[in-house]
Amino acid sequence: MKACFKILVLTILLFQVNGQLYAQDLHFSQFFNSPLTTNPANTGFLPDADYRVGANFRNQWSSILAAPYKTVSAFADAQVFRDRLDNGWLGIGGLLLSDVAGSGGLRSTKIYGSIAYHQMLGNSSLLSAGFNVGWANKRIDQSRLKFPDQFDGRFFDGTLPTSVILTNTNVSYFDMQVGVNYAYFPDEDIYINGGYSIHHVNRPRETFFGESSETSIIPMRHIGFVNALVKVDPRVILNPNIYYTNQAKASEFMVGLNANYDLGNSGEKQLIAGLYYRNGDAIIPMLGFEIKNIRFTFSYDATTSPLRNFNNMQGAQEMSLIKKGFYNETGSASKAVLCPRF
């Protein structure tokens, strides 16, 4: 009975911590390394490159769940028509997301294509707007689920009959996001960027049950962020970030700072260190490196909420790998770069 009580308390905590499990979208602590999931206006929003490709991996609650939450994403975006549009360009990109959550084998697969337009406003600012559309699928294995009426007094027995029937264990729908960005770069040592996006603007329906109601509509999610790049020393660039998102009754606020340190004289080798705080939930240290425009970072969510009493502060591990580049590397040195660089 003590084990059952512990499981019950743990379940309640998981649903109470920051409201994060209420209509939760897939998310990353390193949101700044997942640009297309944060804001579709980030597509082709590259102040220091022509294109980028990247991948992210998140493993959450492996210390308390037999089947932890695992999220993987891969993305690519690029600038096009820079030589055809007057002081502007288009950004095109694509995104793949995959997530496996819990012992019920809840699987999410999402594929998006995105486009954005970027317009220079004078010589020191840039305005962008973009959107993406995609296909989303969720499926679950009901045979691996256990329900309240299958509790035999000591354990949950999946062989007992249940009154819970899932009409459809595989659902798909179209999804759409929109967003805007603004960047200000008064000189070569300062770059400030802010953005706002709305997700699920078409209000798609998602339910494993047959009835069609307001509760089956995915609530719109709002994301806002502000960041900066400030070169404080010939070998040091600081990157503060502020991030806020709200969806239905769930919200998340993060604030933190990265620092890039040039290990050479040209920026080809950099050491990256950072520290972030998610309000009421976790402290997130980050460490990484960059070699010839290939960046790898690792972060760890150290739980600070009451859940720490069950997971010993072992929240999530996250990794990001991003490659940036120019179409013509020989001409990259002469191309205008809008943010501080080594």
Residue 141 has pLDDT above 70, yes or no: yes
CA end-to-end span of the chain, whole Å? 61
* Burial class, 277, CB count within 10 angstroms (exposed 0-12 / middle 13-18 / buried 19+): middle
- Average pLDDT score over residue span 203-225: 85
Q: What gap in Å lies between CA 60 and CA 69, rounded to an integer?
A: 5
DSSP letters of 226-255? EEEEEEEETTEEEEEEEEEEEETTEEEEEE
Q: Under DSSP, is residue 127 helix (H, G, I), strand (E, B) or coil?
A: strand
Q: Are strands 294-303 and 314-325 parallel, antiparallel or unpaired?
A: antiparallel
Pick the range with the lowest mean pLDDT from 66-70, 191-195, 218-222: 66-70
Contact 236, 261 (CB under 8 A): yes
Q: What gap in Å lies between CA 169 and CA 165, rounded to an integer?
A: 10
CB contact set of 278 (below 8 Å; sequence gap of 6+): 18, 29, 252, 253, 254, 284, 301
Q: What is the pLDDT of residues 91-128, one digit of tens each?
A: 999 999 998 876 667 889 999 999 999 999 988 999 99
DSSP letters of 57-96? EEEE-TTT-SS-EEEEEEEEEEEE-TTTSTTEEEEEEEEE
Q: What is the pLDDT of residues 312-324, one digit of tens each?
A: 777 789 999 999 9
Q: What gap in Å lies between CA 181 and CA 87, rounded to an integer?
A: 16
Residue 189 has pLDDT above 60, yes or no: yes
Give the global pTM: 0.85
Contact 69, 99 (CB under 8 A): yes
Both tokens of residue 150?
């299958």
Q: Under DSSP, is residue 133 helix (H, G, I), strand (E, B) or coil?
A: strand
CB contact set of 79 (below 8 Å; sequence gap of 6+): 44, 46, 50, 51, 89, 90, 91, 118
Q: What is the pLDDT of residues 28-48, one digit of tens each?
A: 999 999 999 999 999 999 988
